[in-house]
Amino acid sequence: IEAQGGQAHVVSLDVTDALSIEAAVEQAEAEVGPIDILINNAGISMRALFQDLDLEVFRKVMDTNFWGTVYATKYCLPAILAAKGSIIGISSINGYRGTPARTAYTASKYAMNGFFESLRTEVMKKGVHVLVVAPGFTASNIRNTALTADGSSQGESPRDESKMMTSEEVATHILQATSKRKRDLVLTTQGKLAVFLNKWIPGILDGIVYKQMAKEKDSPFN
């Protein structure tokens, strides 16, 4: 950002703690002025069968992915309303189609999608832009740090990251969609296909998704 002539400020916070977010928003506004764009990008994943999953892991994923989004949006909303700005939620294809061994992650993304759909309708006459982004598989650290059944880190990705869309490509798509004030953004051919097929042939897609997940390295189905 600074290389492009802008200014960058970093504020540390805990997205699972509403008071931490409130304080961070106050600090950010004191340093740079009112917030006009919020990107809810904090997230954590998990990989384990629900029957084996510690419920604290489920709670941690929901606290980070869903409640973190709710808290940040709540405390940034007054300034964004005044600026007629943008609220962006980084959801997932899992917000449209659940996958096995990702029950908590899927639930958090469905919750995000529903929250933003409702909020968008509330603010649609107030000039506020709400964009929900559903990236497909993206090369990032999220699978390396995904939580296992007992809450420990998975440690490595079970998928070939080299075949995925890069984080930089995803960011470029998000920037373009934000500038055009789009409503939804679904990324990757595979992701768009999954959303389409789940709408029209969900039963068949159940079997396809199961087979794909079972092929993963160290799959919990094996």
Residues annotated catalytic, as ranges: 105
Q: What letter represents residue 30's amino acid?
A: A
The dihedral built from the CA positions of residue 166, 167, 170 and 171, taken in this order, carries a sign that is negative
3-state secondary structure of 42: coil
Q: What letter represents residue 94's amino acid?
A: N
The burial class, CB within 10 Å (0-12 / 13-18 / 19+), for 205 is middle
Dist. CA 114–CA 118, nearest whole Å = 6
3-state secondary structure of 80: helix
